[in-house]
Amino acid sequence: MRKFKSYTKMPPAEEKGINIYGVFLKSLGICFGVSFILIMLYALVLSFTSMSDSSMSMTIQIIMIVSITISSIYGGKKILKKGWFFGIVLGLVFTLLLVPLGMCFGQSLSLDKYFAAKMLMGSSVGLIGGIIGINLN
């Protein structure tokens, strides 16, 4: 007797035995690592040049964009499907984790329009990075 194939497919990441949560945590670690390295480089530039601190806000935003993009490209490339969703969640989680980290360094908690803009920026950059990561396969 002939056996029929099952038409229910597993997601591509599960077919290859990829732990999605592990990839997410590794991507989050990459995000924090890239941010740390770039912030240290910026601190070195500030300390050894006559550059003013007025560019700090813009530079921190650029560092955040670069780190979310790199980590969501990595994650999208590893999970093989729904990279846009992976990138959005990664951007939101990274941005939300920056709040208690900033509070440890003396910032106050302010849930205002700037925080909402930062959340929107993190999720949209993650979305784009996740799409790029999927398409690099």
Confidence bin at 114 (pLDDT 50/70/90): confident
Cβ partners under 8 Å of residue 82, min gap 6: 130, 134
pTM: 0.83
Please state, as a whole number, how many other Cβ atoms lie within 10 Å of the Cβ of residue 9: 8
49 pLDDT higher than 80: yes
18-27: average pLDDT: 89
112 pLDDT higher than 90: no
Q: What is the CA angle 26-28-30, rounded to 5?
A: 70
Per-chain mean pLDDT for the chain? 86
Q: Whole-angstrom Cα distance, residue 64 to residue 75?
A: 16
Q: Whole-angstrom Cα distance, residue 115 to residue 122?
A: 10
57 pLDDT higher than 70: yes
Say what the pLDDT of residue 137 is. Answer: 77
Q: Whole-angstrom Cα distance, residue 18 to residue 116?
A: 33
How far apart, in Å, do the first and last CA atoms of the chain sit?
39
Q: Is the dihedral angle over the CA atoms 121, 30, 37, 131 positive or is it negative?
A: negative
Q: What secondary structure letter does DSSP report for 109?
A: P
123 pLDDT higher than 80: yes
Confidence bin at 73 (pLDDT 50/70/90): very high
CB 134 within 8 A of CB 80: yes
